[in-house]
Amino acid sequence: MSHALILLAHGSSDARWRAPFEALESDLQARLETPAVVAYMELSEPSLETRVAECHAQGHRRIDILPLFFAAGRHLRQDVPAQLDALRTQYPDATLTLLDPVGQHPAFVEALAGIVTARAGA
């Protein structure tokens, strides 16, 4: 089964706010074998719905959604699961999995420790 990754950010109408996410998307696409694209929950395009539609049209039937959030608040406990329920109805042949937010991953803590250590040594 073909696999894709959607990096889910909150969203902003400010293009400057979106720029680091677009750079992250580009950097990850160059480093990963799995296609990785950014989607926004609100205030920006492409939306989660747009990205799922694109991934599905490209033949991806396993789509993981990685929230670029520190923690799971209301959006990740209620809003995104409701969006995914609707998308699962629309794409019954696809497996859509909401992963834990990056802030809860042990590798994220290690990355932050590395940043702090590097900064302290500068």
69 with 108: CB under 8 angstroms?
no
**With respect to CATH, is domain 3-120 assigned 1.25.40.10?**
no
Q: How far apart are CA 34 and CA 53, in angstroms?
A: 17
**Phi, then psi, of 13 in degrees rounded to 5:** -80, -10
At residue 122, the pLDDT reads 59
Domain spans, the chain: 3-120
Q: How far apart are CA 122 and CA 120, in angstroms?
A: 6
At residue 33, the pLDDT reads 92
User: For residue range 50-108, what is the model confidence (pLDDT) as tens digits?
Assistant: 999 999 999 999 999 999 998 877 878 889 999 999 999 999 999 999 999 999 998 99
6 with 52: CB under 8 angstroms?
yes
User: For residue range 29-53, what is the model confidence (pLDDT) as tens digits?
Assistant: 999 999 999 999 888 999 999 999 9
Residue 119 has pLDDT above 80, yes or no: no
Tokens coding 73: 């608040």
**Packing angle between helix 80-90 and helix 48-57, nearest 10 degrees?**
30
At residue 69, the pLDDT reads 92
